[in-house]
């Protein structure tokens, strides 16, 4: 079985690689514990990253959203809103026209100087962290508090946590597998142990072979992958197997010998939102098949 997805690799690579490129934001509001008492019920919000718009709707606060960033395409209602920014530049004229009360920025994704400039211009900027799986639930709850609808957001976050826990419980005793997650093949990017994709792999009973690296989305070389010899390769791509063509030259790789190369849904795994549950199911199913292949000794010539 080869897992396919309906979107190109750029969907996943955009959000993940921008995380690696963005400067860490050390000033201003953080997601939890610093909300104060200034949350309002009639707030107009602009989001500066695609997944933040999705989190607004997950928090049942979509009606407050008035502007979005480039590549925001889910849900459909968010995609129809005016585009205010890309990863590095904010359209100040469009921002003035929208008159937002609050902007949501992405910690480790929105450049620090952009946040500083917006604050200097008088805008309220709240910084949302979404590195790990539970950060998604925390972000939903935070957005609910900031927009004056904490209870619907709490319920939504609770459903997400329950689904992730159910998935973790199901695979808690799964036989471990060594896994390589490939963001892109040229250049060759992966994720480290802190990234939520690595958490998904662990939740499904796997171990990210590059969990020891420092960068969130590091570039690695082919030799490093070969030396660590993963039993499973995962990638987010379109319906072709082009993502893995680079590895055909090394048939001795364990993942090649067992045919354990799987595609997972790019749109779902590429953004830290409740849709990570869908991505988690795909990863777990891929690893379950990989175990069957290994146990059956389906070594390919």
Same-domain status, 148 and 199: no
Give residue 274's pLDDT.
98
* pLDDT, greater one: 249 or 186: 249
pLDDT tens column, 87-131: 778 999 999 999 999 999 999 889 999 999 999 999 999 999 999
Assess if residue 281 is contained within a domain.
Answer: yes
CATH of the domain at 118: 3.40.50.1980
Number of domains observed in the structure of the chain: 2
Same-domain status, 202 and 280: yes
pLDDT over 60 at 34, yes or no: no
Same-domain status, 180 and 279: yes
The whole-number average pLDDT for the span 217-246 is 88
pLDDT over 70 at 203, yes or no: yes
**Among 22-26, 224-228, 289-293, where is mean pLDDT lowest?**
22-26
Give residue 238's pLDDT.
62
pLDDT tens column, 74-83: 999 999 999 9
Give residue 4's pLDDT.
37
Average pLDDT along the chain = 87
pLDDT over 60 at 33, yes or no: no
Same-domain status, 176 and 282: yes
Give residue 28's pLDDT.
36
Domain stop point among 127, 142, 165: 165
pLDDT band of 225, cuts 50, 70, 90: very high
**Contacts of range 189-194, beta carbons closer than 8 Å, 24 or more positions apart:** 189/13, 189/16, 189/17, 189/20, 189/217, 189/218, 189/219, 189/220, 190/217, 190/218, 190/220, 191/16, 191/216, 191/217, 191/218, 192/216, 192/217, 192/218, 194/131, 194/132
**Among 5-19, 61-75, 172-186, where is mean pLDDT lowest?**
5-19
Domain stop point among 134, 165, 196: 165
Same-domain status, 183 and 142: no
Does the predicted model carry a pTM greater than 0.75? yes
The whole-number average pLDDT for the span 8-12 is 40
Assess if residue 26 is contained within a domain.
Answer: no
pLDDT over 80 at 7, yes or no: no
Percent of the chain, pLDDT > 70? 84
pLDDT band of 21, cuts 50, 70, 90: very low
The whole-number average pLDDT for the span 30-34 is 39
pLDDT tens column, 40-74: 568 999 999 999 999 999 999 999 999 999 999 99
Give residue 241's pLDDT.
57
Same-domain status, 210 and 283: yes
Give residue 22's pLDDT.
40
Give residue 230's pLDDT.
98
Same-domain status, 137 and 185: no
pLDDT over 80 at 134, yes or no: yes
Same-domain status, 140 and 36: yes
pLDDT over 80 at 211, yes or no: yes
pLDDT over 80 at 222, yes or no: yes
Give residue 40's pLDDT.
55
Range(s) of the domain holding residue 159: 31-165
């Amino acid at each position: 079985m080869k897992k396919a997805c309906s979107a190109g690799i750029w969907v996943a690579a955009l959000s993940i690689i921008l995380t690696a490129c963005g400067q860490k934001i050390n000033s201003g509001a953080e997601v939890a514990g610093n909300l104060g008492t200034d949350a309002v019920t009639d707030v107009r919000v602009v989001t500066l990253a695609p997944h933040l718009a999705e989190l607004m709707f997950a928090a049942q606060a979509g009606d407050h959203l008035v502007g979005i960033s480039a590549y925001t395409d889910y849900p459909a209602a968010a995609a129809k809103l005016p585009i205010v920014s890309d990863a590095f530049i904010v359209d100040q004229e469009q921002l003035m026209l929208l008159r937002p009360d609050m902007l949501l920025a992405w910690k480790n994704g929105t450049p620090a100087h952009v946040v500083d400039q917006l604050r200097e211009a008088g805008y309220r900027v709240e910084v949302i962290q979404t590195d790990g799986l539970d950060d998604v639930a925390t972000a939903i709850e935070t957005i609910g508090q900031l927009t004056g609808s904490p209870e619907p957001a709490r319920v939504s976050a609770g459903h997400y946590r329950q689904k992730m826990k159910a998935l973790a419980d199901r695979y808690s005793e799964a036989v471990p597998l060594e896994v390589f997650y490939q963001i892109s093949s040229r250049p060759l990017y992966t994720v480290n142990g802190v990234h939520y994709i690595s958490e998904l792999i662990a939740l499904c009973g796997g171990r990210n072979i590059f969990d020891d690296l420092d960068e969130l989305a590091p570039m690695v070389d082919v030799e490093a992958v070969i030396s660590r010899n993963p039993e499973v390769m995962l990638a987010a791509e379109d319906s072709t197997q082009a993502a893995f063509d680079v590895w055909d030259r090394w048939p001795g790789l364990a993942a090649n010998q067992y045919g354990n190369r799987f595609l997972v849904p790019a749109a779902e795994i590429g953004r830290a939102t409740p849709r990570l549950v869908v991505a988690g199911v795909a990863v777990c199913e891929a690893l379950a098949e990989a175990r069957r292949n290994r146990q059956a000794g389906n070594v390919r010539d």
